[in-house]
C-alpha cells in the first residue's frame, strides 16, 4: 500500500507562528490556504497565518476546520485540531521545529 500524505499540514513554528505546508504540488490547495488566511513566506514553500498576533489559536482551529470542510485531508498540531479522536495522525508538537517531522516536511524548510 503506498504511503499517503495529507494534502495540508498545519502546525506551530517557533519563529513564524501558525504555519501550513502542502504535501502535493496542488495550486488549488495553495489557493485555499490563502482563502483561510495564510500567506506564502517569501522564498519558501511554507505559508504563515497573516496577522499572527490576532488570536492565532482560534484562527488556526478555524483554518483546519475550513480546509477539512472543503474536503482536504489535513494533519495538524493538537492545538489546532478540534477533532483529535478522528485524526489519530495529528502531531502533538510543532510540525517544523521538532525532531519528529512528517517525512515531507524537510522539503518545506524556510530559506533565509
Helix (H, G, I), strand (E, B) or coil at 46: coil
* Sheet with 74-76, side-by-side order of all strands: 38-40, 47-49, 17-22, 8-13, 74-76
Helix (H, G, I), strand (E, B) or coil at 67: helix
- pLDDT score of 82: 86
Residues 60 and 66: their CA atoms lie apart, in Å, by 10
Using an 8 Å Cβ cutoff, are 49 and 64 in contact?
no
Using an 8 Å Cβ cutoff, are 86 and 68 in contact?
no
- pLDDT score of 25: 78
pLDDT tens for each residue of the chain, 112 residues long: 555 788 999 999 999 999 999 987 788 999 999 999 999 999 998 999 998 889 999 999 999 999 999 999 999 999 999 876 554 444 434 445 443 344 334 334 444 4
Is the pTM of the predicted complex or chain greater than 0.85? no
C-alpha cell at 28: 488549488
Which H or E run includes 43? none
- pLDDT score of 84: 64
- pLDDT score of 5: 81
Amino acid at each position: 500500500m503506498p504511503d499517503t500524505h495529507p494534502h495540508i499540514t498545519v502546525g506551530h513554528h517557533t519563529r513564524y507562528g501558525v504555519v501550513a505546508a502542502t504535501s502535493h504540488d496542488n495550486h488549488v490547495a495553495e489557493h485555499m490556504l490563502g482563502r483561510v488566511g495564510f500567506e506564502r513566506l517569501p522564498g519558501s514553500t511554507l505559508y504563515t497565518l497573516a496577522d499572527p498576533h490576532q488570536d492565532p489559536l482560534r484562527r488556526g482551529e478555524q483554518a483546519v476546520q475550513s480546509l477539512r470542510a472543503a474536503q482536504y485531508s489535513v494533519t495538524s498540531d493538537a492545538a489546532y485540531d478540534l477533532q483529535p479522536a478522528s485524526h489519530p495522525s495529528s502531531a502533538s508538537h510543532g510540525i517544523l521545529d521538532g525532531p519528529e517531522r512528517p517525512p515531507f516536511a524537510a522539503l518545506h524548510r524556510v530559506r533565509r
